[in-house]
A and B are shown apart, each in its own frame.
Chain A
Amino acid sequence: MSSLSKQPDDSMASVLRRSRKPRARFAPLTGRSLLRLVGQAIIRLDPRSLARNPVMFVVGVGTLVTLWLTGEALLGGRPFGFDLAITATLLFTLLFANAAEVIAEARGRAQADSLRSTRDHLLANRLAGEREEQVAARDLRMGDRIRVRAGELIPADGEIVEGAASINESAVTGESAPVLREAGTDNSGVTAGTKVLSDVILIEVTAVFGQTLLDRMIALVEGAKRQKTPNEIALTVLLTALTLVFLVVVATLLPFARFVGTEVSPTVLVALLVCLIPTTIGGLLPAIGIAGMDRAMRANLVAKSGKAVEVAGNIDTLLLDKTGTVTYGDRHATDFRPVGEATETRLRDAALLASLADPTPEGKSIVALARERGASAAAGVDDRFVPFSARTRLSGIDRPDGGRIRKGAPDAIRRFVTENGGFYPEETTRVVEEVARGGATPLVVAELLPEDDSGADRGRVLGVVPLGDIIKPGIKERFARLRAFGVRTVLITGDNALTAAAIAAEAGLDDYVAEATPEQKLELIRREQAEGRLVAMMGDGTNDAPALAKADLGLAMNSGTQAAKEAGNMVDLDSDPTKLLEVVEIGKQLLVTRGALTTFSLANDVAKYFAILPAVFVAGVPAMAALDLMQLHSPESAVLAAVIFNALVIPLLIPFALRGVRIRPSSADALLRRNLPIYGLGGLLLPFIAIKGIDLGLSLVI
């Protein structure tokens, strides 16, 4: 708490980083922060605030009733110590529940404050015709164009329309290594609050003040404003129903007792009611939800709603791009494999020429390998480079003499060659398959000879360049964890089927889709969903946007285009594709925590019955003493011990609610086998021991 309550510095990155340290999580409460916590907890005793939570509202009413009874006893000159003790304990029950919520929110509050101060001081250079005018970020409109120079903070979310720049995004990601953002690429998106380190860029504003990623983060960390998720609503229905049952159970106990000729103190009845209603889960429910969002934040994930985090726990199918997720993504040429009459030298030179203007890592690696192997060809002034196009899926070079060199996927090359009257030899297919089976991506190089009058075949295949990639270490284990949870992993790649199969097998994926286009991604998601599966995918490009929107969990890379970020329901600030795996675990953890505490809370009631009921009736019905399994000190101490346990269990479980239940990746059956004894049986037995212990302590005092 202490570190969180400090005045935040200029960026929220430091806050995020700091709060990621375990020390900051449960730092000891200092005087000032404790005072603030107590103040907040007291403010929330406001009936309007309590009414949001039916369980705690009943506790609030019960507290008033016992307070009234205490006053009555006091004025009537009767002993009131017991009533007062019960009233105080009930009040603490309320305060503890409020504190749980305050603590959970406070962990986000400091982040929100720092984010807000960053946001509020942003200035923009807006282009007005030829001129530039300086305006506050809040006055920017959609579509405004702003210029940002090296050293300035980007004032709004937007897309670079001109220029490229290296940007420090540590303000939102906590990662200080600069990233490159460039107009016209899939990495054109910029975020408000980040800093341009070099160059000048022209940005078109895509999100106005109040709707930027920063704002979303602020809204998110300020848990109070968050909507209840469908799961929380359903659980609240159950808790409310149980509260109603216990209200009736306790209220009818009074006439029953009179009928059998004994009297019950109303104070004890209120105590019994508060013990029975699910105060533990009722008090911790908001904190669990906020903490779940918080854990996502700590993993640098911005969810658009709490629902997105919960959905993550339910994901059945995970669609993964190969590049950057399964493999490092820097595919590089490893060899030149000529086919037919072509020599390796010819292939090498052709590949070099076709790749000279290719900016992709693959292209650069071909150039490097060719040079390494002694190629010296250079492009002439009249050479025209043909960039990669999604339509032909080819790139290459057109020579001034009419000759053309192309490289691309085998099927694209086959079409290119045959369309131009060439011949695609069987041998090529054989080599391609051989390369693919090895897990590398085969790139085929072909040339089209200059036109002559001979009428001979113009096109011919020169050979295959294997593009090798390295599978990330540890990725296989992560997929195994996911499989244990029942999540199916599917590789989606533009690679051919053989390469995809080889990579999928090596990385331990369940399935693959080869030669996938964005449309096919969308189609696959539709198909999976039609079979009832919940699908998660990640993406960054504008062409991923439809699929991100269609997926149940669309995780957009922060480096990606604005369209992708709009379409997804979660944004990963680190732009780390393996994040999907963490999201699933965070979602599951959130749900398990809720289920475990509900079960625990309900199982606790049995011990409370055995503590309170004998105490209530033993005076009028001496035989009831046989139900006093715990052999408690006195009726008063028994009731008080049960109420104190009921109150104390809330703060004791706050760390548990905030941290979440630790879950091991395993099947649902195994999780249930493990959690049921811990939270069910444990919840049944623990309060017997705890209440006995508290009673022993009380017996020393009273």
Chain B
Amino acid sequence: MNEVFLVYAVVLLLAWPLGRYLALVHASTPTRLDRVFGSLEHAVYRAMGIDPAARMGWAAYGKALLELHLVIALIAFAILMLQGWLPLNPDGIPGMDWDLALHTTAAFITNTNQQHYAGQAQLSYFAQLFAVVAMQVITPAAGIAALVAILRTLLGPEGAQSRTASGDVAVGHFYVDLVRTIVRLLLPLAFVTALLLAWQGVPSTFEGARVIQPLDESAVAEQRIPVGPVAPMVAIKQLGTNGGGWYGANSAVPMENPTPVSNLVETVAILLIPVALLVTAAYLTGQRRLALSIFAVMLVLSASLSGPAIWSENQPNAAFAGIAAEGPNLEGKEVRFGATATALWGSLTTQTSNGSVSGMLDSFNPLGGLAALMGMFINATFGGVGIGLINYLLFLLLAAFLGSLMVGRSPEFLGRSIEAKEMKLISIALLLQPLLILSLTAVAVTVPGLAQTSNPGFHGLSQILYEYSSAYANNGSGLEGLGDDTPWWNLSCALALILGRFIPILAPLAIAAAMAGKRVAPTTSGSLNVATPSFAVLTLGVILMFALLSFFPALALGPVAEQLGLAP
């Protein structure tokens, strides 16, 4: 258990300075950082033809965000289709089919990295670098940019909101937020992490696969071990809640995660930026008590997801019932890491919409799988880089709506009224999740031949439910066992991926701008205080109720029935 506390402790210790640094990165006033990074950034702005001093309203900001993603999507799609003819392909890997390329593109531009292919065998180095690693840098930065824009608009100090030339509420400048996040945060942090990983033995090379003579040549004559610039990719994959590994088996492969130290580094990296963003929120907006109470709720959620997962994986696998061997469920786990560390990773990876794995989630005991699913349904337990806190803010607004009424006020959040328009946007953003996940799952289980599950019954249902939940939550992990490289899976997941990424960004952005334009009622003892423990409890209740009410029946027929069926 000590390893669990060590991970949380290291995260907290590092998140504090990192969060304050990130607040400085996005401060509206010039800082000393400008001297270090300014010239590089301005070169980028000049190259892209951007006026960094311009201000964008929410619509312009959202449009810039969508345009950028459209452009990188086209590039990634082209690379994936054409990689056979492109350079840096020492192993001669051919281009992808259009549907797989489309799904892979959708998965990487949405910070999801859901993989319906095996990385080392189906991607060239060029594709890994420019269709995968580039997205793994750009998309978390876009998530952070959106969060920063929403934070400064929705939570920013009163009167801080400026207006654009056309009189709309200014939310910031998308490219400035994006470039600063990449240049000042992600690249330096990934560099340090990659060095740590390379030090632990993770490959970092452009040479082709190694050909090894196995000891027992009767099995295979020779073994090809793919390598490449793995360390930098793993670093950004972990830090940016990306999750898509160099190898198909992700961080369970010794090449991605060779030692206990690399395992600690990578586990910490899953949580680091999502937690640091809370500190950033506190210092960027001045709402320190609110940020603290959000942190408390998220920590409670995190503990109540990680706890059962760890407990569950320390129970024997039901398949071993009656066998003398006692011990934790090690099926599908690296013995090097053991049950506890793998379960912690498995739980954290869905809490944060990271999606990387260090063991086979499909082999988790049902309760462990349930914890992983719940993490994605909630999707705001620290959550994906940027998007996790954005999702939480939606629940916060919903809780503020109920809480205000319960204290006899017209619904308000930080003195700004929540009216029908905001409720519509909140409803759309929240409604879409159960709507899409449940309907797509229903279609997949109804039409014969679509699902292609490796298991029938409860676990089969869990596998399908998991795949769509993972796509919508932009998580990327999978229960696997699905024959998922089919046009149906590729296209339906692409739909869930794209809607699950952009609606939860654009709707809150619109809400923040609409709220910021309203008059702010001063705080009195009669107004709803969103930083109190009782409000935190209300928010926690709203989050849990929404996830449970939406998914309880599906969960009951999936992992719950499976667990109950296994129970002696």
Contact = CB atoms under 8 A, between A and B. Distances in A.
A513 B366 CA distance: 69
Contacts of B233: none
B521 A591 contact: no
B434 A248 contact: yes
Given A230-B419, A672-B535, A241 B526 contact: no
Given A529-B519, A591-B405, 14 more contacts: A245-B549, A253-B557, A255-B446, A259-B460, A314-B521, A532-B521, A534-B521, A591-B404, A598-B405, A621-B565, A624-B561, A668-B527, A669-B532, A671-B408
* Residue among B398, B442, B550 having the largest count of chain A Cβ atoms under 10 Å: B442
A609 B538 CA distance: 21
B406 A679 contact: yes
Nearest to B453: A259
Contacts of B552: 609, 613
Contacts of A596: 405-406
A234 B423 CA distance: 6
Interface string A589-628: 1011011101100110110010001000100010110110
Contacts of B529: 668-669
Interface string B416-446: 0011101110011011001100110110011
8 closest A-B pairs (Cβ-Cβ)?
A: A486-B526, A595-B405, A588-B408, A486-B524, A241-B427, A623-B564, A595-B406, A259-B445
B402 A591 contact: no
B548 A606 contact: yes
18 contacts: A237-B427, A246-B549, A248-B434, A249-B553, A253-B553, A253-B554, A314-B409, A486-B524, A534-B521, A587-B408, A595-B403, A599-B402, A599-B406, A609-B548, A613-B556, A623-B565, A668-B527, A672-B535
* Residue among B424, B458, B561 having the largest count of chain A Cβ atoms under 10 Å: B561
A233 B402 CA distance: 14
A199 B553 CA distance: 77
A145 B179 CA distance: 75
A260 B410 contact: no
A22 interface: no
Contact of B561 (A602, A605, A621): A621
A418 B204 CA distance: 95
Contacts of B90: none
A206 to B, nearest CB: 33
Contacts of B403: 595, 672
Given A237-B423, A595-B406, A624-B564, A249 B418 contact: no
* Residue among B405, B411, B431, B537 having the largest count of chain A Cβ atoms under 10 Å: B405
A316 interface: yes
Contacts of A249: 434, 438, 549-551, 553-554
A668 B445 contact: no
B30 interface: no
Identify whether the interface residues of B are mostly helix, strand, loop, or mixed.
Answer: helix
A598 B402 contact: yes
Interface in A240-293: 240-241, 244-246, 248-253, 255-261, 276
Given A621-B565, A668-B525, A244 B435 contact: yes
A249 B547 CA distance: 12
Contacts of A238: 398, 401, 423, 427
B528 interface: yes
A667 interface: yes
A407 B519 CA distance: 45
Contacts of A543: none
A251 B441 CA distance: 12
Given A238-B427, A252-B438, A259-B461, A671 B522 contact: no
Contacts of B415: 532
Interface string A675-695: 110011000000000000000
A250 B557 CA distance: 13
A673 B557 contact: no
Contact of A256 (B402, B522, B554): B554
B567 A626 contact: yes
B520 interface: yes
Given A260-B557, A617-B556, A671 B438 contact: no
A668 B407 contact: yes
A478 to B, nearest CB: 15
B271 interface: no
Identify whether the interface residues of A are mostly helix, strand, loop, or mixed.
Answer: helix
A485 interface: yes
Interface in A555-609: 587-589, 591-592, 594-596, 598-599, 602-603, 605-606, 609
Contact of B408 (A240, A609, A663): A663
A119 interface: no
A593 to B, nearest CB: 9
Contact of B406 (A487, A587, A592, A603): A592
A453 interface: no
A276 B401 contact: no
A495 B39 CA distance: 65
Contact of A626 (B461, B521, B564): B564
A592 B406 CA distance: 4
A627 B537 contact: no
Given A669-B529, A672-B535, A257 B439 contact: no
Contacts of B526: 316, 485-487, 667-668
B454 interface: no
Nearest to B535: A672
Interface string A485-503: 1111000000000000000
A231 B431 contact: no
Contact of A245 (B418, B431, B461): B431
A485 B526 CA distance: 5
Contact of B434 (A245, A603, A606): A245
Interface in A516-540: 529, 531-534
Nearest to B422: A234
Contact of A488 (B442, B524, B550, B560): B524
Contacts of B409: 313-314, 588, 591, 668
A484 interface: yes
A310 interface: yes
A256 B461 contact: yes
B538 A672 contact: yes
B315 interface: no
A276 B545 CA distance: 12
Contacts of A486: 524-527
B17 interface: no
Contacts of B549: 245-246, 249, 276, 602, 605-606, 609
B443 to A, nearest CB: 8
